[in-house]
A = this chain, B = another copy of it.
Amino acid sequence: MADDDRVFKALADPTRRLLLDLLFAREGRTLTELESEVAMTRFGVAKHLKVLEEAGLVVTRRSGREKLHFLNPVPIRLIHDRWIDKYTERHVTALVDLKKALEDEP
């Protein structure tokens, strides 16, 4: 499977995105800790984490019998760069910021 294909397939599942959100909020979590937040058995969570790791979206470090998980933002940035060139980026960010501002103050 191609490298970028793994990334996009990994991002396609809502549970996996939630796991990324959890790691974005606080990194270095274990499987057991993540399991307690996602309404699914440990096996399901482990499978999802494996997919994320093979996609390079999550990197891990072993510490004794625990495995710590960290979010890797690089593949996300590459998605961005694929369809948003430097010139367009200025317009898009302005647009997104405007949209957010309008939503915050109705």
Contacts and interface: CB of A to CB of B under 8 A. Distances in A.
For chain A, which range describes its interface: under 10, 10 to 19, 20 to 34, or 35 or more residues? 20 to 34
Given A8-B11, A9-B12, A20 B77 contact: no
A5 interface: yes
A83 B77 CA distance: 9
Interface in A1-49: 2, 4-5, 8-9, 11-12, 14, 17, 20-21, 24
20 contacts: A5-B14, A8-B8, A8-B12, A8-B17, A9-B12, A11-B11, A21-B82, A24-B82, A73-B83, A73-B84, A73-B88, A73-B92, A74-B95, A74-B99, A76-B84, A77-B89, A77-B93, A79-B80, A80-B80, A81-B96
